Structure 1
Amino acid sequence: MRKQLIEQSAHAVASQVRAVEDSIEAALMELAELQSRLIRARSCTGVAVSTGHEALEEVAGALNGLVAARGRMGQAHLVLLDAKNKIPGLRTEAFGDGMECPPSTAQLRAVS
């Protein structure tokens, strides 16, 4: 019973970590597209480069913040992998298919 609870908890955490990582990367793609559209819109309208520059700086700052968040999630992922070895019942368990990080289409499951 306890082992199953530990495995379920670990699976829930692993699934959520992957979901957060995927969300950050999706947001990074959206911000990059927004930057491109802002630059294109300025070019199409023929206004001065300074027009809308502050908005572009703010979007760039948001992008930098998400890049930092992506790195922090990567570090959290590594810390959790290390912590797994200290939790009784998980030391002999693996999640995914043995790769460093399973593809997003992979089903996470505990194996002995």
Structure 2
Amino acid sequence: MRKQMIENAAFDVAAQVRAVEDTIDAALAEIAELQGRMMRARSLSGVGIATGHEALEKLAGTVTSLVGARGSMAACHAALIDAKGRVPGLRTVSFGDGEECPPPKSLDRGLRVVA
């Protein structure tokens, strides 16, 4: 019973880590689209390049921060994989088809815990 509870908790953590990683990637993609729209809007309006430059700089700072957050999540993910090896009951557990982590949502075909 306790082992199953530990496995379920670990699965929930693994699924949430994947969700956070996917969310950061999606935010980066949305920002890239926003940057393109901002550039097109400036070009279409015929205003000078300085118009809206401060907003573009702020957006670039957001990208830099999110890329840093993405790297931090990758390090968190690696640390959790390492920690899994020290948790009794999880040393021999994997999620999915023998992979360390749940697959992205696009590849999710019904996850299961395997030992």
Range into which the TM-score falls when normalised by the shorter chain: over 0.9
How far does residue 108 in structure 1 lie from its aligned partner after superposition?
3.2
1:27-42 equivalences under 5 Å are: 27-42=27-42
Q: Corresponding residue for 2:23?
A: 23
Q: Which amino acid aligns with 2:78?
A: L
TM-score (normalizing by structure 2) = 0.91
Q: Corresponding residue for 1:81?
A: 81
2:96–2:113 Cα contact (<8 Å) kept: yes
- Which residue of the other structure, out of 109, 112, 115, is the alignment partner of 1:109? 112
SS of equivalent residue, structure 1 residue 87: coil
Unaligned runs of 5+ in 2: none
Residues 25-46 of structure 1: CA deviation (Å, up to 9, x unaligned):
1100000000111111111111
Report the identity percentage.
61
Q: Corresponding residue for 2:66?
A: 66
Structure 2: distance between partners of 1:87 and 1:66: 31
Unaligned runs of 5+ in 1: none
How far does residue 110 in structure 1 lie from its aligned partner after superposition?
1.2
Q: Alignment RMSD, CA only? A: 1.3
Q: Which amino acid aligns with 1:25?
A: D
Question: How many equivalent pairs are there?
Answer: 112
1:40-59 equivalences under 5 Å are: 40-59=40-59
Q: Which amino acid aligns with 2:67?
A: V
How far does residue 102 in structure 1 lie from its aligned partner after superposition?
4.8
1:80-99 equivalences under 5 Å are: 80-99=80-99
